[in-house]
Amino acid sequence: MSVFNVYLSGVGGQGIGLISEVMQRSVDHAGIKALGVDTHGLAQRGGIVASQLRIGDSIHSPMVSRGKADLVVALERHEAVRAAGEYLKKNGTLVYYNTSWQPLPVRMNKAEEIQTAQVAKFCQSNGFRLIEVYQSDLPDPRMQNMALLAAICRNHLLAGVRKEHYIAAMRDLMSGKMLEANLGLFERLLLA
């Protein structure tokens, strides 16, 4: 298959490491080559964290070039716009969880918060396909990443990767109550 680039972004503490690893392993379970890389260290403290995932045969470095992502996955509204603006290619897809963790300048009244309608307008004017995810009944805000994962699966955003591949990847990485809760949510959202 041809190269497919995914850029994931969020705020430190949102669980981006788990969703990126589940995605990479899902692709692997589907028998497709994947390379990934995550942010570790300083930026994790409430700053921007990014993960990168490259899929296909003719890939070498795990890092995605600017303007060359086919898919941007964001766990937060501001980071959705920032990442899509920098990395998403025309006709690419932005899928994001619609929550806002206000950046410092907003909290200090020095900048305005990005609103949901602005994201839609931004995507429209840039030719991005937009999928907005929000789930009002999550048992734990740290499961927002699973809501996104379900949206990625439901919309077939990773070609050739099916439900059973995502579930196998989740089983690789989680166990006990955590697996039960996340798997339960994932399957419920797929039916929704």
Tell me: does residue 187 bind another protein (CB under 8 A): no
Q: Which is nearer to another protein, 124 or 155 (CB)?
A: 124
Region of 146-154, 155-163, 170-178, 183-191 interacting with another protein (CB under 8 A): 170-178
Binding mask of the shown chain, residues 72 to 101, with x at each position contacting another protein by CB under 8 A: ------xx-xx-xx--xxx--------xxx
**DSSP character string of 88-140:** EEEEEEEEEE------HHHHTTSSPPPPHHHHHHHHHHHT-EEEEE--TT-S-
| From 130, 131, 173, 190, residue interacting with another protein (rule: CB under 8 A) | 173
Burial class (CB in 10 A: 0-12, 13-18, 19+), 114: buried
Q: Which of 15, 98, 102, 160 binds another protein (CB under 8 A)?
A: 102
Among 60, 117, 191, 192, binds another protein (CB under 8 A): 60
- Of the two residues 35 and 190, which places its CB atom closer to another protein in the complex? 35
Q: What are phi and psi of 127, to 5 degrees?
A: 70, 35
Three-state DSSP state, 160: coil
Whether 77 and 118 have beta carbons less than 8 Å apart is answered as: no
**In whole angstroms, how close is the CB of 59 to another protein at the nearest point?**
7
What's the closest the beta carbon of residue 26 comes to another protein, in angstroms? 11
The whole-angstrom separation of Cα 134 and Cα 74 is: 12
13 near another protein (CB under 8 A): yes
> In the window 110-169, what residues touch another protein (CB under 8 A)?
110-114, 118, 122, 125-126, 139-141, 144
Which of 65, 59, 123 lies closest to 95 in space, CA to CA? 123
**CB nearer another protein, residue 42 or residue 192:** 42
Q: Which of 66, 91, 116, 188 binds another protein (CB under 8 A)?
A: 66
**Shortest Å, Cβ 176 to another protein:** 8
Calpha distance 154→188 (Å, rounded): 11
Query: Buried b vs exposed e over 142-154: b needs ≥16 C-beta within 10 Å?
Result: ebbbbbbbbbbbb
